[in-house]
Structure 1
Amino acid sequence: MITNIAIASVFVKDIDESKAFYIDVLGFDENSDVTLTDGYRWCTVSHPSQPELQVHLTVPGPPHTPDMIAAMNRALDEGNMHGLGMAVDDCRKTWEELRAKGVEFLQEPADRPYGVEAVCRDNSGNWMVLVEQKAYTGEDFAHA
């Protein structure tokens, strides 16, 4: 039986730079950072309030095919990769704090039927969604 999600991988351009971004800018903690005998680097971070969920920061590489690696690198370069969705207690305040730290935002905080949402990018170009969630039902959404 599956009991929870333990690891989510995020493809990045540079592990050291991404690790610093997630720790210094977003407030995550380092979990592990080891290089295995075949040169593969295993680096994970997690948020202090959710240490059981490790975010695996990894560059595109084997076992993916060369074509897939090239496609992932192009998507990172173009800012077209999806990253994490994160819960925040105050989206507008978090937006201000992260903007002051130089985080690129694609969407300022906006009211949605499910709460307040802002969209930004990590330093590899991955989209990150910040959501200050509120209670909602399906009736809160417009129906066609």
Structure 2
Amino acid sequence: MEDQREKAKNFQDLLVWQKAHQLVLAVYRLTDAFPKHELFALTSQLRRAAVSIPANVAEGFRRRGLKDKIRFFNIAEGSLEEVQYYFILAKDLGYADTRLITEQANEVSRLLDSYSRTMRARLAADSNS
């Protein structure tokens, strides 16, 4: 992960951003089929939370300090958890089969966790030197 971060020229080069962006596109396709009465409720909330994931990765990428970068990745992780809950709700309400999109979200979660762990380890190493 660290090697890719060093090679990244912009946030779009990050695999975690690419996968999170693909998740957003999948969320938009999924929610297109939700009932119309959910447009300003679950549909809007799910889309907003999903968009927050790659948006915070992008914002964190440009931040200078590791603490600031970590903070934005933490926000992205929180938004992803919110999305995971909305998938459960959509499934339980009978709006969608969320198995495949949940797998996509799990992949994003693993990547976010890996990037966050790498940054925290780097921060710890910097503070010990």
Q: Which has the larger share of helix?
A: 2
Largest Rg, 1 or 2: 1
TM-score (norm 1): 0.32
TM-score (norm 2): 0.34
Q: Which has the larger share of strand?
A: 1
